[in-house]
Amino acid sequence: MAKSTIEKEKKETERIKPIRLIDNETGDEYILDFDLEACKFCDRQGIDVDSILTHPATQGELFFFCAFRMHHKNRMPKEKTDKILWNALGGFNEKTADVFMRLVELYYQALGVLSDGEEENPRMTVEL
């Protein structure tokens, strides 16, 4: 097995897994994750990701909504994600604290902050 294949597999196993929400009444399944587009959307909404856990009431609902954008962009209005957060998950509690911590990790992973910064065949080399 080539070195690059082993490194690629290692990165895949180290990747933080997205969150799966399954509605036990309807069978609907939602994947919460971030890509660069969803991160940019968060930024445009004025979300301060570092304050999500300390200020969940002011930033949490919107951040939760943004987490649906990667996989459910056109079918998840904010009203629906708010209902999932408040009615199905019970709002901000111990369980959702774990959800939000994972969402913050997924956000930073999408930005590449959590990676080692090495890309295969990079176009540019940065020397500081």
pLDDT tens-digit profile of 77-88? 999 999 999 999
d(CA 24, CA 120): 41
Long-range contacts at 15-19 (CB < 8 A, ≥ 24 apart): 15/109, 16/102, 16/105, 16/106, 16/109, 16/114, 18/71, 18/106, 19/67, 19/99, 19/102, 19/103, 19/106
Number of independent structural domains in the chain: 1
Six-digit token pair at 59? Answer: 């930033």
The answer to whether position 108 is within a domain reads yes
The answer to whether position 72 is within a domain reads yes
**By the 8 A CB rule, do 67 and 25 touch?**
no
The answer to whether position 105 is within a domain reads yes
The answer to whether position 21 is within a domain reads no
Predicted confidence at residue 120, as pLDDT, reads 59
pLDDT tens-digit profile of 26-62? 999 999 999 999 999 999 999 999 888 788 888 999 9
Predicted confidence at residue 54, as pLDDT, reads 82
Predicted confidence at residue 114, as pLDDT, reads 55
The answer to whether position 17 is within a domain reads no
Predicted confidence at residue 121, as pLDDT, reads 61
The answer to whether position 59 is within a domain reads yes
| Cβ within 8 Å of residue 100, ≥6 positions away | 52, 53, 56, 60, 63, 64
The answer to whether position 107 is within a domain reads yes
- Tell me the residue range of the domain where 43 lies: 37-113
The answer to whether position 7 is within a domain reads no
